[in-house]
């Protein structure tokens, strides 16, 4: 207990120190963050997701073991590393979260809209089923390289649409993703912004979600990240699991190929 | 045409259809992506404009390293120039204390679960991207530093006008820059912008200390 407290205290001090040194923020903050990652509370969600995966649930009282995440039903190792990808049964490119929605409705009989409504949990809650499931399934790709390939026409379409959307400016802030994520070493206030048009930045996107979000005390998914961005951009409410999100994720993950997946990530 | 030849032709077509998956062209991409935008959001009719691109936004959404042409840049500047409205009072320099508060306010007008974040007024968002008073730590660096803005430029009428217009529609000076066209998009009112001008050029403002 004392040791943990000590570690937490040191990490806290590290963060405080770095908060007052913006010039050196880059390096010192990353040291502080690394210390936090070593004790990532998000680990707790992996078991929760595992339970949800094997439990017989929903009106059809089925587990998710027959869900095909792209490598065949029940084959989870390395599956998340190749998402988003085209699925013949839905004739659509799906990312992990939209694929989970598909399986939860077709295999388990859940109402898609109901699941989507609860997909993003409240801060300080126990988290949503999808958040835990997405983390469990992605954790089965830990240590493996992101490998999004484009072969089906709809995969090419999603990639290009994602690229277009990344640069599409609208609304009263005139923002697209590129205004904040198009250059290296940028910050919003003290918050570091990922340089997503560089390989390293895209790789961090592709390999660190789902992540434990310190400020919210819950595990967050890529879809949550996108939702929060469009909220700041002053766009209307982004629905869960749309082609818009899937296209952006296809664009970013594809550019993030070769990153080694390590989830849960840790975000401030 | 003999049967064999027809067979080969069918085979050939099949190979082309299966084998030609590739990147869609620009027009097709745009069509698909624009549909995705309107399918992806739930919005009240009055918020559709947050998704619709105006002419300048269309021009300024260059993909990757694509550059603005001179003609496009000129069009954006012309549209920006035409957008600028001045406060009814005619006075472009307001109250720097009001401006200071607004500069550190990043809230207003965000939408969650269909509800618009209602504040007395929208924040001016400056702190998110610009260094402000000397020694101020919690500031972003997406935009250039504004520390000493007025100290360097003075507070002449010409500078006040330039500053007002730059905030009202940044693209009148730098077409397609990252900075929001805060007045032109309606995020800030002309009166609020006069306070921002004062915050930047008043010698008493912390920016110039």
- CA pair distance B32, A17, nearest whole angstrom: 48
Residue A20 pLDDT level (bands cut at 50, 70, 90): very low
Ramachandran bin of B154, using left for φ above 0, alpha for ψ from -120 to 50, beta for the remaining angles = left
Cβ contact B180–A164 (<8 Å): no
Q: Any CB–CB contact under 8 A between B27 and chain A?
A: no
pLDDT of amino acid B5 = 57
The yes-or-no verdict on residue A16 having pLDDT over 80 is no
Per-position pLDDT tens, chain B of length 209 = 455 555 555 555 554 555 689 999 999 999 999 999 999 999 999 999 999 999 999 999 999 999 999 999 999 999 999 999 999 999 999 999 999 999 999 999 999 999 999 889 999 999 999 999 999 999 999 999 999 999 999 999 999 999 999 999 999 999 999 999 999 999 999 999 999 999 999 999 999 99
Give domain B84-208's CATH architecture: Orthogonal Bundle (1.10)
Gap from A47 CA to chain B (nearest CA, Å): 30
Q: Any CB–CB contact under 8 A between B145 and chain A?
A: no
Tell me, what CATH number does A115's domain have?
Answer: 1.10.760.10
Q: Are residues A28 and A61 in the same domain?
A: no
Query: Each residue of A135-150: pLDDT tens digit?
Result: 999 999 999 999 999 9
On chain A, the residues whose CB falls within 8 A of the CB of B51 are 170-171, 235-236
Q: Are residues A22 and A154 in the same domain?
A: no
Q: Are residues A4 and A78 in the same domain?
A: no
Of residues B193, B6, B2, B3, the one with CA closest to residue B84? B193
Dihedral sign of CA atoms B196, B201, B207, B209 in order: negative
Q: How many CB atoms lie within 10 A of CB B145?
A: 12
Domain residues of chain B, as ranges? 84-208
Nearest to A236 among B111, B125, B185 (CB): B111
On chain B, the residues whose CB falls within 8 A of the CB of A151 are 21
- CA pair distance B108, B125, nearest whole angstrom: 10
Task: Annotate chain B with DSSP letters as a single string.
Answer: --HHHHHHHHHHHHHHHHHT--PPPHHHHHHHHHHHHHHHEE--GGGGGGTS--HHHHHT---TTPPPPHHHHHHHHHHHHHH----TT------HHHHHHHHT---SS-EETTEE---SS----HHHHS--STT--S---SSPP-TTHHHHH---HHHHHHHHHHHH-GGGTSTT-SS--TTTTTSS-HHHHHHHHHHHH-TTSGGG-
Q: Are residues A14 and A127 in the same domain?
A: no
Give the count of domains, chain A.
Answer: 2
Nearest to B63 among A163, A173, A189 (CB): A163
The yes-or-no verdict on residue A8 having pLDDT over 60 is no
pLDDT of amino acid A29 = 57
- CA pair distance A43, A52, nearest whole angstrom: 15
Touching B: A residues 120-179, CB under 8 Å: 150-153, 155-157, 159-161, 163-165, 167-176, 179
Query: Each residue of A116-174: pLDDT tens digit?
Result: 999 999 999 999 999 999 999 999 999 999 999 999 999 999 999 999 999 999 999 99
pLDDT of amino acid B119 = 85
Q: Are residues A20 and A46 in the same domain?
A: no
Residue A5 pLDDT level (bands cut at 50, 70, 90): very low
Q: Say if residues A196 and A208 touch (Cβ distance below 8 Å).
A: no
Q: Any CB–CB contact under 8 A between A203 and chain B?
A: no
pLDDT of amino acid A17 = 38
pLDDT of amino acid A187 = 97
Q: Are residues A32 and A140 in the same domain?
A: no
Is A180 one of the catalytic residues?
no
pLDDT of amino acid A22 = 43
Nearest to B137 among A22, A172, A237 (CB): A22
The yes-or-no verdict on residue A241 having pLDDT over 90 is yes
pLDDT of amino acid A15 = 42
Nearest to B24 among A157, A179, A186 (CB): A157
Q: Are residues A231 and A140 in the same domain?
A: yes
On chain B, the residues whose CB falls within 8 A of the CB of A160 are 23-24, 29, 32-33
Gap from B172 CA to chain A (nearest CA, Å): 14
Cβ contact B111–A231 (<8 Å): yes
pLDDT of amino acid B118 = 84
Q: Any CB–CB contact under 8 A between A189 and chain B?
A: yes
On chain A, the residues whose CB falls within 8 A of the CB of B23 are 156, 159-160
Gap from B72 CA to chain A (nearest CA, Å): 16
| Residue range of the domain that includes A242 | 42-267
Nearest to B61 among A167, A189, A197 (CB): A167
Residue A32 pLDDT level (bands cut at 50, 70, 90): low
The mean of the pLDDT values for chain A is 90
Query: Each residue of A68-127: pLDDT tens digit?
Result: 999 999 999 999 999 999 999 999 999 999 999 999 999 999 999 999 999 999 999 999
């Amino acid at each position: 207990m004392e040791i943990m407290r000590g570690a937490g205290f040191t990490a806290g001090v590290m963060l405080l120190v770095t908060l007052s040194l913006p010039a050196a923020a880059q390096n010192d903050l990353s040291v502080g963050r690394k210390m936090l990652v070593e004790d990532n509370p998000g680990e707790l969600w992996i078991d929760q997701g595992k339970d949800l995966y094997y439990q017989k649930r929903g009106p059809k009282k089925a587990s998710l073991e027959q869900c095909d995440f792209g490598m065949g039903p029940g084959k989870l190792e390395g599956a998340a590393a190749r998402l988003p990808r085209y699925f013949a049964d839905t004739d659509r490119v799906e990312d992990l979260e939209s694929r989970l929605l598909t399986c939860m409705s077709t295999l388990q009989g859940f109402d898609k809209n109901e699941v989507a409504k609860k997909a993003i949990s409240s801060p300080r809650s126990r988290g949503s089923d999808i958040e835990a499931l997405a983390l469990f399934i992605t954790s089965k790709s830990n240590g493996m390289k992101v490998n999004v390939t484009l072969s089906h026409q709809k995969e090419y379409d999603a990639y290009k649409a994602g690229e277009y959307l990344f640069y599409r400016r609208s609304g009263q802030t005139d923002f697209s993703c590129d205004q904040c994520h198009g250059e290296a070493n940028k910050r919003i206030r003290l918050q570091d912004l990922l340089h997503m048009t560089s390989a390293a930045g895209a790789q961090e996107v592709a390999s660190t979600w789902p992540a434990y979000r310190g400020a919210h005390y819950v595990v967050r998914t890529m879809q949550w990240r996108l939702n929060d961005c469009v909220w700041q951009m002053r766009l209307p409410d982004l629905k869960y699991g749309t082609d818009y999100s899937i296209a952006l994720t296809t664009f970013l993950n594809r550019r993030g190929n070769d990153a080694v997946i390590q989830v849960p990530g840790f975000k401030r | 045409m003999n049967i064999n030849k027809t067979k080969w032709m069918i085979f050939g077509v099949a190979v082309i259809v299966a084998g030609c998956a590739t990147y869609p062209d620009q027009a097709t991409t745009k069509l698909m992506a624009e549909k995705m935008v309107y399918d992806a959001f739930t919005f009240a009719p009055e918020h559709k404009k947050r998704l619709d691109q105006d002419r300048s936004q269309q021009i300024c959404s260059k993909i990757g390293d694509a550059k603005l042409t001179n003609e496009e840049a000129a069009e954006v500047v012309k549209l920006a120039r035409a957008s600028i409205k001045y406060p009814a009072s005619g006075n472009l320099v307001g109250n720097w204390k009001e401006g200071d508060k607004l500069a550190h306010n990043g809230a207003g007008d965000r939408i969650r679960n269909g509800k618009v974040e209602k504040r007395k007024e929208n924040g001016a968002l400056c702190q998110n991207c610009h260094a402000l008073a000397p020694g101020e730590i919690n500031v972003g660096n997406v935009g250039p530093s504004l520390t000493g803005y007025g100290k360097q430029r003075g507070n002449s009428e010409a500078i006040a006008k330039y500053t007002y217009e730059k905030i009202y529609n940044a693209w009148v000076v730098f077409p397609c820059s990252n900075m929001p066209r805060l007045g032109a998009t309606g995020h800030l009112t002309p009166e609020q912008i006069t306070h921002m001008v004062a915050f930047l050029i008043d010698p008493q403002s912390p920016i110039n200390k």
